Every structure is written in structure tokens, then in C-alpha cells.
């Protein structure tokens, strides 16, 4: 299916669902869309660490690891443009069904099933969800695709970026208030087999399947007045299969399956016209024979009427036990300046400048400057 055809199909589905909702009080439909254009510039940096289509470029910037979005030194709207439609059916007082489908202009990702789960709430405080969902690694995980929900063009890829995005399984959450504090705890478990994994297309010309098995984790969100915080921990097994050969790929430590873990901390603040966002994380793969990654983001936004100016910095840095002939650790950092203008209710235009520094022992994407412009809509 061609990109334009996929987007038209999604819009047509949205209109059809909306028409049906008029005669079904227990059904709700909502959606989002983002038109994003961008390009890189800067001094040419040679690399042989990426797929051929990216190695040939003078400059490049990885903006969406999970879906394989990479900008090069030419204008394009094909890396981050997306649309989605969500339907919510109230089957009973306690039971709800939710489905979300997205369409992207990226190759092989024109239509994706993002969410498809049943939600059971025996009381307002407890919620059990079973089906397909987003892995809650980050603060923005559940609504990362909804560009209107945040002030930058994208959550920084220095933090938001792994090879698997969704999981099939179950989660159980509980919400409770204690004095002026509000808490929400969640546990989750499941797994995902990402066929023709988009993340791997950043580095390889061949197609791979990536599996996260025995996924389990927990998170705790807490808020009071202007402050919101979150801590999380996720663990799973990790493996790769070569689609052409039909065989498991040997990892850097010689195994075909390895453990991995992710820890996260969020500290956010909203007061008057100021907005502070910060997120810190640590990832570990293959235990003692693998590597550690530390990453963070910090942004400060100031709202002035319909305008919001945001400045931020972020970084992703790996430490590896391997020699450089086996694995080259990645070290990236970004400085960001973004301007948002709310053009109407549910619609915003953003202009963003990023300066990306690649200090890896051998260049991955290389240094670059990135300019991007987006129109984000919710309906």
C-alpha cells in the first residue's frame, strides 16, 4: 500500500467510525495526525556503521529509532509523518475494548496495529488490561505518537529509542490518593516478536526479526500540586532472527539470547507559564558480557499566550566490555530549541532546531544540525 493510500484509508476509516458513533452512545472515536518535514546539514561525516541508504548521505540524524526514521541532507516528509485512529467501545460498566491503528509514510509501516486490548475495571481504582499495548518504558510511551501532546517536534531520540515498541500481554494498575498525593502503580508482563524490525533497518540492509520474550516490569507514578514523578523497571530476554537464513543471529557475546533491563526516573514540574520536563534512564544488555547505556533529557518551556518556547539538552552514552573490533559503543548528545504556536483548538505548528554531537569512538550517525517543522492535530 502506498503512503498516500494508507493515509487516505485511515482518514476514511475515521469518518466511517465517527458516523457509526453518532448512533452508538457506547462508542467513542478519536484520532491524531502529524505532518513533519526536516533535513540535516553540517560538515560531511563518513560512516560505515549504518545501512547503505544512510551511509551514502553526507549528514544524517536518527530521529525515531523504534520505527527507523533517519533524516539526511535533503528535505523530506517521509520520516515522521503519521496519523492514527482510536476506537473505544464501552461493552459494560466494567468492560471496555480499545483499538488504535496508525499509518506512517515510512516504508513497510504504512498501517500498524498499535493497541488492541480489553480493559476491566471492577472498581474505579483497579484496572486490568489484556491484549496489545505500548511498552511503558517512558513517560510519553502511551502517547508518543501524538505530537500535539508535547511542545517539541518529538521526544528526544537520545532517550526514546529501542528496537521494540509494543507488547502483547497484560497489565494491572491501581490508583490511590493519600492526602495531597496521588499515586498510580502498574505491573505488566508479556512479549513481542517484531517482524521485519524497523530499528534494524537503520544499521542493516537485510531484514531481521527481533524478539523481546518474558517481558515483565513495574512502574509507579506520583503527583502533588505542580509536581509529577515516575519510576519504572522493565526486564526481558532479547534475540534476533535473520529472515533470509531463517536462523538465530549470534549476539556480540556469542549467545543467541540475552537478558536486558531498563530503569527510568521522571521528575516533571508545571507552574504558571513554566514547564519543566526531565527523564533519566539506564539500560543493560547481556549482563557482564554486554554493555550499559545511560541516557537523560531535560527541557524547560515558557508559554507566552499561544506561543511556547522550549530549550533542552539530552544525551545517550554507552559503556561496553567488548573491544572496538566487536562492538563500538554509541555516544550521542543533542541541544534543542523549539517554538510551538497553537493555531487552533487541537492544532499546533512547531519549528525546531537540533544540534547533534556524535562522540562515539567510531562515528555512528556523525555530527549534524537538524531543522524540522511539524503540524500536529488531534480530533
Q: What is the pLDDT of residues 189-200, one digit of tens each?
A: 999 999 999 999
Q: Are the beta carbons of 334 and 156 closer than 8 angstroms? A: yes
Q: How confident is the model at residue 7 (pLDDT cuts 50, 70, 90)?
A: very low
Contacts of residue 177, defined as CB under 8 A and 6 or more positions apart, other chains included, come to 183
* 199-219 average pLDDT score: 96
Q: Is 247 exposed, middle or buried (0-12, 13-18, 19+ CB in 10 A)?
A: exposed
CA-angle at 120, arms to 140 and 133, nearest 5°: 35
Confidence band, pLDDT 50/70/90 cuts, at residue 15: very low
The pLDDT confidence band at residue 289, using thresholds 50, 70 and 90, is low
Confidence (pLDDT) at 331: 97
Q: Where are the beta strands (DSSP E) in 54-165?
A: 60-64, 69-72, 82-90, 95-104, 112-120, 126-134
Helix (H) or strand (E) holding 187: strand 181-194
User: Going by C-beta distance under 8 Å and a sequence separation of 6 or more, which residues neighbour residue 331?
Assistant: 315, 316, 317, 318, 358, 359, 360
pLDDT of 21 > 60? The answer is no
3-378 maps to CATH 1.10.3720.10 = no
Residue 6 has pLDDT above 70, yes or no: no
Cell numbers representing residue 309 in the block: 518556547
Distance from C-alpha of 124 to C-alpha of 174, rounded to nearest angstrom? 9
Looking at every residue in the chain, the average pLDDT score rounds to: 92
Mean per-residue pLDDT, 134-151: 96
CA 72 from centre of chain: 20
Pairwise CA distance, residues 315 & 293, whole Å: 10
pTM value is: 0.89
Helix, strand, coil tally for the chain in percent (to 5): 10, 55, 35
Amino acid at each position: 500500500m502506498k503512503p498516500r493510500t494508507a493515509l487516505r484509508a485511515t482518514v476514511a476509516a475515521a469518518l466511517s467510525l465517527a458516523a457509526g458513533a453518532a448512533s452508538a452512545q457506547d462508542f467513542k472515536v478519536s484520532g491524531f495526525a502529524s505532518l513533519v518535514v526536516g533535513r540535516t546539514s553540517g560538515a560531511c561525516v563518513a560512516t560505515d556503521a549504518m545501512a547503505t541508504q544512510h551511509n551514502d548521505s553526507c549528514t544524517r540524524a536518527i530521529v525515531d529509532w523504534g520505527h527507523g526514521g533517519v533524516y539526511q541532507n535533503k528535505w523530506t516528509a517521509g520520516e515522521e509523518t503519521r496519523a492514527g485512529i482510536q476506537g473505544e467501545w464501552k461493552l459494560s460498566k466494567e468492560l471496555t475494548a480499545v483499538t488504535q491503528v496508525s499509518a506512517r509514510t515510512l516504508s513497510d509501516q504504512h498501517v500498524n496495529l498499535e493497541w488492541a486490548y480489553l480493559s476491566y475495571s471492577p472498581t474505579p481504582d483497579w484496572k486490568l488490561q489484556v491484549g496489545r499495548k505500548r511498552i511503558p518504558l517512558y513517560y510519553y510511551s502511551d502517547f508518543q505518537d501524538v505530537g500535539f501532546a508535547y511542545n517539541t517536534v518529538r521526544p528526544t531520540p537520545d532517550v526514546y529509542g529501542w528496537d521494540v515498541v509494543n507488547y502483547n500481554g497484560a497489565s494491572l494498575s491501581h490508583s490511590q490518593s493519600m492526602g495531597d498525593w496521588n499515586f498510580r502503580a502498574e505491573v505488566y508482563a508479556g512479549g513481542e516478536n517484531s517482524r521485519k524490525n524497523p530499528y534494524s533497518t537503520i544499521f542493516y540492509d537485510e531484514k531481521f526479526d527481533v524478539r523481546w520474550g518474558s517481558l515483565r516490569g513495574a512502574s509507579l507514578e506520583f503527583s502533588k500540586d505542580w509536581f509529577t514523578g515516575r519510576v519504572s523497571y522493565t526486564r526481558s530476554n532479547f534475540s534476533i532472527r535473520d529472515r533470509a537464513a531463517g536462523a538465530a543471529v549470534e549476539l556480540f557475546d556469542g549467545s543467541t539470547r540475552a537478558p536486558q533491563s531498563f530503569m527510568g526516573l521522571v521528575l516533571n514540574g508545571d507552574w504558571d507559564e513554566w514547564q519543566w520536563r526531565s527523564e533519566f534512564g539506564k539500560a543493560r544488555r547481556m549482563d557482564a558480557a554486554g554493555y550499559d547505556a545511560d541516557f537523560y533529557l531535560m527541557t524547560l518551556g515558557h508559554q507566552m499566550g499561544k506561543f511556547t518556547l522550549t530549550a533542552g539538552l539530552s544525551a545517550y552514552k554507552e559503556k561496553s566490555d567488548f573491544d572496538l573490533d566487536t562492538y563500538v559503543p554509541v555516544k550521542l548528545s543533542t541541544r534543542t530549541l523549539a517554538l510551538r504556536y497553537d493555531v487552533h483548538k487541537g492544532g499546533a505548528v512547531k519549528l525546531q532546531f537540533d544540534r547533534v554531537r556524535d562522540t562515539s569512538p567510531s562515528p555512528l550517525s556523525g555530527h549534524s544540525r537538524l531543522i524540522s517543522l511539524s503540524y500536529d492535530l488531534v480530533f
